[in-house]
């Protein structure tokens, strides 16, 4: 990974000089680096940090579309929302506003189901493709095709397939004598549908990444295991899985973040429906902000909660990264 | 590996064929539907009707598909150029120099590239509205940069880390400034990494849905996902237009994708966490 540094230091730290000279010393020594990062710092400051602070402030108010400042024609209506402290958070976290815990539960189910299926199917296909056989290149190309499809296009295509009136999915079921399913209209069926589509989209990445990982596992380990009389399953447990660990750890983390944040699939396939049952936290926050009477403060509260979950996640991720590079390079 | 029995070999191929069919079927179905010219057959899977390209001529000629396509291109190109340009120098500084503030900076890249649009969309909407940037390319490009910049900086730092420092040192000895070293030596060497970063941020911005659906309010400014979503709503189902549009979007995307995909996996697992 990329966290280890072997850069030569710009010089051994000198004894601490008096304050003013210290500032000047820092500037002369580091102005180049600072100049190079300034554009990024300005952009992130203006476009991420400032809105983030503003969002946190909004989450402490009762701002909605009705009481926010706006301009209608020539009349400017000033903002009339007020500071309400932690009321929004109490509402959301105590369950008083109803939706949060069911959305959180579904977000967790969705993430776990998708990532588990991505990984197991991806690993299975990678193991199959990792053998010498005819048509291997063709299979590989066909199997990564879903990755080449932009997610929004995939969502449209699957809507056509899962369409209750005359979708091809139901006619295929009909061939087996199974009744038509209202794929996008029933809560449970809709949940299965969005997971299915996201799995379809996400398996190729896992497959290709794990296939790369499999090719780095030393061949002589397998030979040694075979000499010792290990069965195929034992070889898989004792050689393949440990050999894949660096790759699988990374792709599972990536998959978790991507799935947790997956917007287009849910927004374009079911629009969160029916009745919000397929809304994960990010689509729920979006819906609060921009549908019906726009509840800016409620959406900002969701946003702040999502952001804090991700910060905690990033903290553990960073620790894990550091440990990984220690294992590999230390 | 020892030679497989006939049965095992057949099982292997059957499994792979089955998986390939599942992978290809939705794409093939969209392509097939786009060629069905009879409205009545779009939702009659067992019927073909007459096949033809009238859906394509209609989507190109009678809808604003080409405008949306152009909008998506402008926004994605703008985001990518801006993102990669400013992220590259920061990535280089983070890779090669030690300076106060470097750790918090890297931490910021890591955390902000995990932020989904939902975290920033409300305050950004208010800011853009105050600045009069709603429904403009500039506003959407800036909003998309919140995704692209941290991601590009993180990816590019990872690539620069893989280039030996001795090259920089040689450049410095020959009298190049740090910026000169970066521009004349490192950027050319990092070209494969930079092109993958460019491709990925382009594709991400191109298909972005959350910001685009809120910020672009007039039909002439829609990007592809937003515009194409209007073909099929609760009130109408222009599947012919939608599928023909989908094919037109998929073809170039898939072509470029297959060219760069090998580098893509290496790049993503080595340095990035961004979707």
Give me the pLDDT at residue B270, please: 58
Tens of pLDDT, residue by residue over A272-292, are: 878 888 888 889 888 888 887
- List Cβ neighbours of B127 (8 Å cut-off, separation of 6 or more): A50, A51, A54
**Scanning the structure block, which residue is given the tokens 């050319």?**
B188
Q: Do A283 and B118 touch (CB under 8 A)?
A: yes
A314: which chain B residues are within 8 Å (Cβ-Cβ)? 107, 110-111, 114
What is the band of A13 on the pLDDT scale with cuts at 50, 70, 90?
Answer: low
Give me the pLDDT at residue A5, please: 43
Residues of chain A numbered 176-235 and touching chain B (CB < 8 Å): 200, 204-205, 208-209, 212
Give me the pLDDT at residue A294, please: 83
Give the span between the Cα atoms of B208 and A279, in whole angstroms. Answer: 18
Could you tell me which of B101, B112, B120, B104 has the C-alpha nearest to residue B214? B120
Give the span between the Cα atoms of A245 and A231, in whole angstroms. Answer: 21
What is the band of A18 on the pLDDT scale with cuts at 50, 70, 90?
Answer: low
A254: which chain B residues are within 8 Å (Cβ-Cβ)? 268-269, 272-273
Assess whether pLDDT exceeds 80 at residue A318.
no
Tens of pLDDT, residue by residue over A158-213, are: 988 988 777 888 888 888 888 888 888 888 999 999 999 999 999 998 998 898 88
- List Cβ neighbours of A285 (8 Å cut-off, separation of 6 or more): A299, A302, A303, A306, B118, B119, B121
CB B146 within 8 A of CB B124: yes
B99: which chain A residues are within 8 Å (Cβ-Cβ)? 30, 33-34, 37
3-state helix, strand, coil in chain A (%, to 5): 70, 0, 30
Give me the pLDDT at residue A15, please: 56
Q: Do B119 and A204 touch (CB under 8 A)?
A: no
CA distance B97 to chain A (A): 7
| Interface predicted TM-score (ipTM) | 0.83
Domains along chain B with CATH numbers: 6-56 (no CATH), 64-271 (1.10.3720.10)
Partner-chain residue, chosen from A8, A132, A160, that has the shortest CB–CB distance to B1: A132
Give me the pLDDT at residue B235, please: 74
Give the span between the Cα atoms of B74 and B58, in whole angstroms. Answer: 23
| Helical packing angle, A100-129 and A281-290, nearest 10° | 130
- List Cβ neighbours of B71 (8 Å cut-off, separation of 6 or more): B137, B216, B221, B222, B223, B224
Assess whether pLDDT exceeds 80 at residue A219.
yes
Give me the pLDDT at residue B38, please: 79
Give me the pLDDT at residue B4, please: 66
Give the span between the Cα atoms of A156 and A84, in whole angstroms. Answer: 41
Q: Which two tokens stand for residue A169?
A: 């999915």
Give me the pLDDT at residue A126, please: 92
* Shortest CA distance from B262: residue in chain A: A208
What is the band of A74 on the pLDDT scale with cuts at 50, 70, 90?
Answer: low
Give me the pLDDT at residue A325, please: 64
| Helical packing angle, A19-44 and B137-161, nearest 10° | 120
**Scanning the structure block, which residue is given the tokens 């898939």?**
B254
- Name the helix (H) or strand (E) containing A75: strand A75-77
Domains along chain A with CATH numbers: 99-294 (1.10.3720.10)
Assess whether pLDDT exceeds 60 at residue A216.
yes
How many residue pairs from chains A and B have C-beta atoms closer than 8 A? 297
CB B112 within 8 A of CB B104: no
Partner-chain residue, chosen from A37, A135, A150, that has the shortest CB–CB distance to B253: A150
Q: DSSP secondary structure string, chain B?
A: -PPPPHHHHHHHHHHHHHHHHHHHHHHHHHHHHHHB--GGGTT-TT----B-SHHHHHHHHTSSHHHHHHHHHHHHHHHHHHHHHHHHHHHHHHHH---TTHHHHHHHHHHHTT--HHHHHHHHHHHHHHHT-TTSHHHHHHHHHHHHHHHHHHHHHHHHHTS-HHHHHHHHHTT--HHHHIIIIIHHHTHHHHHHHHHHHHHHHHT--HHHHHH--SGGG--HHHHHHTTBSSS-B-HHHHHHHHHHHHHHHHHHHHHHHHHHHHHHHHH----
Give me the pLDDT at residue A71, please: 63
Assess whether pLDDT exceeds 70 at residue A314.
yes
Give the span between the Cα atoms of B152 and B160, in whole angstroms. Answer: 12
CB A241 within 8 A of CB A247: no
Give me the pLDDT at residue A249, please: 81
Give me the pLDDT at residue A114, please: 95
Phi then psi dihedrals of residue A70, to 5 deg: -155, 170
Longest dimension (CA), chain A: 85
Chain B interface test: which of A47, A70, A180, A236 (most B C-beta within 10 Å): A47
CB B16 within 8 A of CB A142: no
Give me the pLDDT at residue B108, please: 87
pLDDT in 10s for each residue of chain B, 275 residues = 445 678 888 888 999 999 999 999 999 999 988 888 877 777 777 777 778 888 888 889 888 899 999 999 999 999 999 999 889 989 999 888 888 888 899 888 888 888 888 888 888 888 888 888 888 899 999 999 988 898 888 888 888 888 888 888 888 898 888 888 888 888 888 887 888 888 888 888 888 888 998 888 888 889 998 998 888 877 777 888 899 999 998 888 888 888 777 777 666 665 444 33
In eight-state DSSP terms, residue A278 is T
Assess whether pLDDT exceeds 50 at residue A150.
yes
Give the span between the Cα atoms of B171 and B181, in whole angstroms. Answer: 6
Give the span between the Cα atoms of A141 and A157, in whole angstroms. Answer: 20
Give me the pLDDT at residue A327, please: 62
Q: Which two tokens stand for residue B65?
A: 């598909």
CB A254 within 8 A of CB B270: no
């Amino acid at each position: 990974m990329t966290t280890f540094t072997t850069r030569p230091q710009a010089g051994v730290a000198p004894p601490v000089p008096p304050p003013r000279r210290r500032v000047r010393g820092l500037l002369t020594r580091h102005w180049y680096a600072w100049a190079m990062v300034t554009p990024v710092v300005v952009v992130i400051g203006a476009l991420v940090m400032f809105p983030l602070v503003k969002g946190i402030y909004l989450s402490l108010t009762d701002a909605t579309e009705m009481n926010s400042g706006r301009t209608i024609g020539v009349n400017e209506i000033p903002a009339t929302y007020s500071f309400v402290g932690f009321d929004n958070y109490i509402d959301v976290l105590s369950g008083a506003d109803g939706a949060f815990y069911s959305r959180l539960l579904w977000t967790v189910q969705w993430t776990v189901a998708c990532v588990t299926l991505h990984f197991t199917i991806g690993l299975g296909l990678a193991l199959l493709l990792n053998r010498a056989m005819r048509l291997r290149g063709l299979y590989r190309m066909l199997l990564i095709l879903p990755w080449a499809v932009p997610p929004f296009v995939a969502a449209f295509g699957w809507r056509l397939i899962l369409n209750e009136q005359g979708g091809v999915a139901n006619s295929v079921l009909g061939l087996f004598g199974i009744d038509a399913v209202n794929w996008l209209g029933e809560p449970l069926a809709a949940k299965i549908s969005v997971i299915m589509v996201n799995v379809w989209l996400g398996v190729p990445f896992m497959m290709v990444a794990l296939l790369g990982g499999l090719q780095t596992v030393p061949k002589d380990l397998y030979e040694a295991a075979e000499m010792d009389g290990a069965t195929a399953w034992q070889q898989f447990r004792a050689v393949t899985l440990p050999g894949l660990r660096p790759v699988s750890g990374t792709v599972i983390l990536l998959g978790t973040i991507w799935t947790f944040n997956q917007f287009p699939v849910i927004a374009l396939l079911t629009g969160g429906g029916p009745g919000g049952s397929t809304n994960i936290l990010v689509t729920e926050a979006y819906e609060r902000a921009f549908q019906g009477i726009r509840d800016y403060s409620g959406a900002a509260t969701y946003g702040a909660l999502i952001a804090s979950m991700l910060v905690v996640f990033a903290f553990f991720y960073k620790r894990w990264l550091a440990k990984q590079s220690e294992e590999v390079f230390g | 590996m020892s030679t497989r029995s006939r049965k095992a070999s057949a099982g292997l191929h059957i499994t792979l064929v089955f998986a390939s069919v599942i992978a290809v079927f939705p794409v093939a179905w969209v392509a097939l539907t786009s060629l069905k010219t009879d409205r009545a057959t779009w939702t009659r899977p067992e019927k073909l009707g007459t096949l033809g390209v009238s859906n394509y001529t209609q989507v190109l000629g009678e809808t604003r598909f080409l405008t949306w396509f152009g909008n998506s291109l402008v926004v994605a190109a703008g985001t990518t150029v801006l993102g990669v340009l400013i992220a590259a120098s920061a990535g280089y500084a983070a890779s090669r120099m030690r300076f106060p503030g470097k750790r918090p900076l890297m931490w910021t890249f890591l955390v902000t590239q995990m932020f989904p649009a939902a975290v920033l969309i409300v305050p950004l909407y208010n800011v853009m509205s105050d600045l009069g940037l709603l429904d403009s390319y500039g506003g959407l490009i800036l909003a998309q940069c919140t995704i692209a910049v941290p991601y590009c900086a993180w990816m590019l730092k990872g690539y620069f880390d893989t280039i030996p420092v001795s090259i920089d040192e040689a450049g410095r000895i020959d009298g190049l400034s740090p910026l000169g070293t970066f521009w004349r030596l490192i950027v050319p060497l990092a070209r494969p990494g930079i092109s993958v970063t460019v491709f990925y941020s382009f594709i991400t911005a191109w298909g972005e849905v959350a910001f685009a659906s809120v910020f672009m309010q007039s039909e002439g400014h829609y990007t592809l996902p937003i515009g194409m979503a209007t073909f099929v709503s609760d009130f109408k189902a222009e599947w012919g237009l939608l599928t023909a549009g989908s094919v037109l979007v998929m073809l170039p995307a898939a072509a470029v994708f297959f060219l760069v995909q090998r580098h893509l996996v290496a790049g993503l697992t080595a340095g990035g966490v961004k979707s």
